[in-house]
């Protein structure tokens, strides 16, 4: 009953065997996948995948890397997609101060505009936060009152996790929880409320140990879930059920 809450199986790395990858995930107990857009082109592909596969749902949005190219018409298109049944979130959106591929002021402006779309369409949103914890938290506090969403591939402190949970947000855990240098992540995983926890792959990136260095895929969400369950002293089945319920609650999936 696993649910991969964040994947990019529209990526070209899956062009040769996408169908097999999806069926392999189903064979490994993955009942649902949210395929997340990172630009207008990948959002288009994400919507198409959700229409093709029953187990796939779509998120649509502009990643901070692509913020510098955002057009006014893009926000209208995001809103239009949001009306479709299997489009369940705006995302991934946020800030990336590690690569700085878009100017920081532009990243912040595009992040806020997409939160506005989420508010207008009554949608949750998926946050990308890399080396931008302070600004992400400020924007959530000031611009997202009354909204909900998830900080995907969470990399902040336990204090930040508690703060965003208080604001109505969820925390999603990816492959780095299996790395030897996971640092603060095990403490976060062990401490946050179970009803605010999601698991993900972020495939084809962040492949969990012992497959690190190879292409990631939705079937590997089981490895992430096993590590999270271990850190919390839970059976895998209990962790899988709880995180699947959380995904469905957050993204309003029946």
Show the domain range for 165: 2-251
What is the bridge-based pairing of β-strands 149-151 and 56-60? unpaired
Q: Which CATH number belongs to the domain containing residue 131 in this structure? A: 3.20.20.140
Using alpha carbons, select from 65, 63, 7 the residue that is nearest to residue 36. Answer: 7
Task: Return d(Cα 106, Cα 130) in angstroms, integer.
Answer: 16
pTM: 0.97
pLDDT bracket for residue 10 (50, 70, 90): very high
Tokens of 166: 């208080």
Q: How far is CA 116 from CA 59, 66, 108, 111, 113, in A?
A: 15, 18, 12, 9, 5
Q: Given pLDDT bands bounded at 50, 70 and 90, which one contains residue 144? A: very high
Is residue 4 within 8 Å of residue 199, measured between CB atoms?
Answer: yes
Decide if pLDDT at 183 tops 90.
no
Count of domains forming the chain: 1
Q: Measure the CA–CA gap between 181 and 178, rounded to whole angstroms.
A: 9
Arithmetic mean of pLDDT, 231-244: 98
């Amino acid at each position: 009953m696993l649910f991969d809450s964040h994947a990019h199986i529209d990526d070209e790395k899956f062009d040769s065997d996408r169908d097999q990858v999806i069926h392999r995930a189903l064979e490994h107990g993955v009942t649902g996948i949210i395929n997340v857009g990172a630009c207008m082109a990948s959002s288009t592909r994400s919507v198409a995948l959700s229409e093709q596969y029953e187990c796939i749902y779509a998120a649509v949005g502009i990643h901070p890397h692509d913020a510098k190219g955002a057009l006014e018409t893009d926000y209208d298109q995001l809103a239009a997609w949001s009306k479709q049944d299997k489009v369940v979130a705006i995302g991934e959106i946020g800030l990336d101060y590690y690569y700085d591929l878009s100017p920081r002021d532009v990243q912040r402006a595009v992040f806020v505009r997409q939160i506005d779309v989420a508010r207008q369409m009554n949608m949750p949103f998926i946050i990308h936060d890399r080396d931008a914890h302070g600004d992400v938290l400020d924007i959530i506090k000031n611009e997202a009152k009354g909204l909900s969403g998830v900080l995907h591939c969470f990399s902040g402190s336990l204090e930040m996790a508690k703060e965003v949970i208080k604001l109505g947000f969820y925390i999603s855990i990816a492959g780095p929880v299996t790395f030897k240098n996971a640092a603060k992540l095990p403490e976060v995983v062990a401490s946050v409320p179970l009803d605010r926890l999601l698991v993900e792959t972020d495939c084809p990136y962040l492949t969990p140990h012992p497959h690190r260095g190879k292409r990631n895929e939705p079937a590997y969400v089981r490895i992430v879930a096993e590590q999270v369950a271990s850190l919390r002293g839970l059976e895998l089945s209990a962790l899988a059920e709880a995180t699947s319920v959380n995904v469905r609650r957050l993204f309003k999936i029946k």
